[in-house]
Chains A and B, each alone.
Chain A
Amino acid sequence: MGSGTVKDAALAGVVAAILALPLAGFQSVDLGTAGLGIETRFSYVAIGAGAVFFGRLALAFLRGLHVNVPSVALPRFQGGRLLGGVLVAAAVALPFVPFASRDVIYLGTTILIYVMLGWGLNVVVGLAGLLDLGYVAFYAVGAYSFALLAGWLGLGFWEALPFSGLLAGTFGIVLGFPVLRLRGDYLAIVTLGFGEMVRIVLLNWTNVTGGPNGIAGVPAPTFFGLPFTPRAPHDGMTFHGFFGIAFDAQQKMIFLYFVILALALATNFLTLRLRRLPIGRAWEALREDEIACRALGIDPTKVKLSAFAIGATLGGFAGAFFATRQGFISPESFTFQESATILAIVVLGGMGSQTGVVLAAIVLVSLPELGRVFAEFRMLIFGAAMVLIMVWRPQGLLAWREPSIRLAAAEAR
């Protein structure tokens, strides 16, 4: 460790101090009648700068020892199938473990919504390589189409679900047409614009969408027609009444949890299956080289639109579920922040990796929740976790691509 390392660490410390000074160095305090005052917290700045200085030194020290900081993805991740099985088993068992409180099941449901959204976006971004920053638009279309169908036609969740998906899928095709010629950064900007357009339309089309007030009273799903309510609606039956058990508000939450689990697993099954079909291989080929696709007689328009449509349909299903769980939707749930989170899940998970999406969704959704214990530091912890993932695994948590077909296996069939 030469003086260069110390200098480098000192520089990092100074930069951290400069950044921390306005961010953590001052705090506004309420002085009662005297108004608002500023309190300085220079000790926080010192702690931050010190942590960066020593962290940087430690990193250099580790590198010097040749304790290689592994920065490339593992050459091959063998346990994918096993890990997948464990995750599914854990997901099924979750509501029945002793610590499964209301909060845990609620968080589990939220994670599963993001897993499903991540899998849906994975078709567009991970497989077809189309960087879509406006995915939340389809989530919103799914949610609003269910809420409106329920409000106007009195459709229940299960009847409206296919329509939500269909409408979102149609939107995917409609929004896909204008961006067919765009790739990469340009596509990202235009889809970002589309996402915002959908949100702003929802916000301003007051007589249909309720504008900023949103739509309340979205019906909850029923268990084969049995509602999860304390009392039955006119001479009908309720879930707890039918099974002769006591009413418990948790029953509905557990049911919702299993609904989204089933939807997510169906999504996973569908995408894994599509990946092994010509359409899925064409998506991946398009991601690799569009010009070569053309030269092989593949129509890039159809391939792109099919990816947009399938991704959007899956987002629409997730949206309908979101609406039925919340019972209330408003444009605030469909901001760019959501698109960014879903994209982060796909990218951090390892583009195209199904299990990676699950792990990333667990990390990204539960970290801010669990971080509530640390109150004001939770965004700091969140940011640090993102940086760590990018340093240690720049290709994403699981970045191993399983070939869609293997010669020996294909010939054995």
Chain B
Amino acid sequence: MSRLAVEHLSMRFGGLVAINDVSFSAESAEITSIIGPNGAGKTTVFNCLTGFYRPSVGRLALERAGTTHLLERMDGFRIAREAGVARTFQNVRLFAGMTLLENLIVAQHNRLMRASLYSIAGLLGLPRYRRAERDAVDRARRWLDRVGLLARADDVAGNLPYGAQRRLEIARAMCTEPALLCLDEPAAGLNPAETSDLMRLVLSIREDEGIGVLLIEHDMRVVMGISDHVIVLNYGRKIADGPAQSVRRDPAVINAYLGEEQAA
């Protein structure tokens, strides 16, 4: 069980206030979507959560297995390693020259590094390391199978079509065994069939892994189709927060964002 509580988060870049006093929470086994027009501060929230930015003000607490991690005080790689926050990127960031399998094994670096006793057991080829590597390959294989890329396991990641790259990036994030998965516009650039596959994948992650999913998305079919909980940002402020159906009818949201679509 995990729970992310964001309290009074603000992020200023010089005089520009990108996020202004935003509070929300994301529960495990729930899909929480952050939506809002371009420039509303959605990706900035992600970058604060995953340690790429240090927030100006605010408390970002992730509770995991009874321990509370204060993300605003941690380095980016420690947030991923210790608090278990995994993310994908708006413009896919795979290890393009490496194979699919290698991408998923790199994601299990910390576990393998410990098993290899910082390379010593690995260099000697001790059974302890070989077992850990076999487990890592098994986990990678399971995720490749789940995202439908098992047949291409030994291909170079950069050669995959765009939709497959997005799925691989999610699989790679899941191989870190996170408590919270942050997806930054996972449906951007996907065709309708690929989008449906993606929705099924995200739903299955919620069902089977029971982890919290935080989703930034512009595609309303995805947001309304799979979200348990929607947060709407506009000009860095939170203007609505609640179940998808009620957010959809919120006059402030219609004004700021959905209104344009309905009028059209």
Residues of A at the B interface (CB closer than 8 Å) are: 270, 273-274, 277-279, 281-282, 284-285, 287-289, 291-300, 401, 403-408, 410-411, 413
Contact = CB atoms under 8 A, between A and B. Distances in A.
A297 B137 contact: no
A161 to B, nearest CB: 19
Contact of A405 (B78, B86, B95, B137): B137
Contacts of A413: 130, 134
Contact of B109 (A273, A289, A297): A297
Name the residue among A278, A282, A292 with the largest chain B CB count within 10 angstroms: A278
Contacts of B173: 295-296
B113 A279 contact: yes
Nearest to B107: A296
A404 to B, nearest CB: 6
25 contacts: A270-B123, A277-B123, A278-B105, A279-B119, A281-B105, A287-B97, A288-B95, A289-B93, A292-B94, A294-B52, A294-B80, A295-B76, A295-B80, A295-B89, A297-B80, A297-B82, A298-B106, A403-B98, A403-B154, A406-B153, A406-B154, A407-B154, A408-B154, A410-B134, A413-B130
Which 5 pairs from chain A and chain B are nearest by CB?
Answer: A297-B81, A297-B80, A288-B95, A278-B112, A277-B122
B50 A403 contact: no
Contacts of B81: 297, 299
Name the residue among A284, A287, A294, A404 with the largest chain B CB count within 10 angstroms: A294
B89 A292 contact: yes
A274 B123 contact: yes
A289 B95 contact: yes
B123 A292 contact: no
A289 B98 CA distance: 11
B96 interface: yes
B110 interface: yes
Contacts of B153: 406-407
Contacts of A287: 97
Given A277-B116, A279-B119, A282-B106, A292 B93 contact: yes
Name the residue among A277, A296, A299, A410 with the largest chain B CB count within 10 angstroms: A296
Given A281-B105, A281-B106, A403-B101, A295 B87 contact: yes
Given A270-B123, A289-B93, 11 more contacts: A281-B105, A284-B98, A285-B109, A289-B95, A289-B96, A291-B93, A406-B101, A406-B154, A410-B101, A413-B130, A413-B134
